[in-house]
Amino acid sequence: MFGARRRRQREMERRLRELDWLDQNYGLGYLPPVPPPPPRKDPSRLAGAIALVIVAGVTTSAVFAMQPGIFPDRVHELLGTSPERLLPARDIPSGPGEFSFMATQPESDDPVGYDPCQVIEVALNVEGAPEDAQHLVETAIDNTSQATGLRFEFIGTTEDRDFENMGMDDPVLVMWSDEDEAPDLAEEIAGVGGSYRVSPFGGGKQRYVTGFVILDRDAYDDMRSGAMRQAIVDHEFGHLVGLGHVDDPRQLMHERGGFVTAYGDGDLAGLAQLGAIDCR
């Protein structure tokens, strides 16, 4: 969609998002308390610089109803067929590890997640990104797809950097930045990630439709450990698909990270559940 209608829609989404931002962020805590900065020469401590941004949802039927994107699924509904998953759901592993969700449905404890019948497109803005950026993103896609059964597609590079004004049809935006552009990257925060959600017209489950992952340029300039560089991107992809933080240091979704560099059993249980929701 382009032109005036697109602009009107974006403006409306922006206003709604601001409202939602106020609603949500002060209840949940916009940023976690940040302890004093660790010595930057210690790469494992630097990985502690992972924080959650609570991403506001576009939770209005009006915006969703304006989206032509819903029509293919309406056709399915009218014909009595249902869309099919693109990849099999993963078994939900059992283990002692903890997990949490960024958001649950208004009427139940079911998580908000991406539609497993839709491809999640991902684009990378290479401005200011490290040389290994694309490799990091593609590996995060593989790891997160493997754990969720969600299908991602890396569609290439983008010039877009406007993570605060994303449209429903935009690909997930991955970029490297600083606190001037993305204030959430202040102090020792090494990355932020999350997704926008919508509610279907007339009720039904909320869904994520797109989102962003932003990594801190300075943190990546200083970080030598390949495993740690990957762990932070994977952690933010965990947020992207709907995982929240846990206090369990065995999990990659621990707020300060740095204890493990791959998804733990709790992370994997949460990711499998996020990928196992019904299609729209």
Place of tokens 């958001």: 103
Q: What is the CA radius of gyration of the chain?
A: 18
| Minimum gap (Å) between residue 116 Cβ and Zn ion | 23
| Number of amino acids touching Zn ion (CB under 5 A) | 2
Distance between CA 193 and CA 88 in Å, rounded?
25
- Taking each continuous run of H as one helix and of E as one strand, the counts in the chain are 8, 6
Residue 58 DSSP SS3: coil
| Minimum gap (Å) between residue 182 Cβ and Zn ion | 14
**Closest residue to Zn ion, based on beta-carbon distance:** 52
* 50 vs 198 by CB, closer to Zn ion: 50
| Minimum gap (Å) between residue 15 Cβ and Zn ion | 27
Point out which residues pair with 246 in neighbouring strands.
Answer: 254
Query: 115 to 144, contacts with Zn ion by CB under 5 A?
Result: none
Query: 46 to 105, contacts with Zn ion by CB under 5 A?
Result: 50, 52
Q: Which residue type, as a one-letter code, is found at position 238?
A: G
Closest CA to 52 of 250, 226, 257, 221: 257
* 66 vs 189 by CB, closer to Zn ion: 189
* 197 vs 280 by CB, closer to Zn ion: 197
How many CB atoms are closer than 10 A to CB 115? Answer: 20
Distance between CA 240 and CA 140 in Å, rounded?
11
Distance between CA 104 and CA 189 in Å, rounded?
25
**H-run or E-run covering 240:** helix 226-241
* 63 vs 215 by CB, closer to Zn ion: 215
| Minimum gap (Å) between residue 245 Cβ and Zn ion | 6
* 14 vs 250 by CB, closer to Zn ion: 250
| Minimum gap (Å) between residue 8 Cβ and Zn ion | 34
| Minimum gap (Å) between residue 124 Cβ and Zn ion | 20
Q: Which two tokens stand for residue 89?
A: 């759901």
Query: 18 to 57, contacts with Zn ion by CB under 5 A?
Result: 50, 52
* 116 vs 191 by CB, closer to Zn ion: 191
Residues forming the site for Zn ion (CB under 5 A)? 50, 52
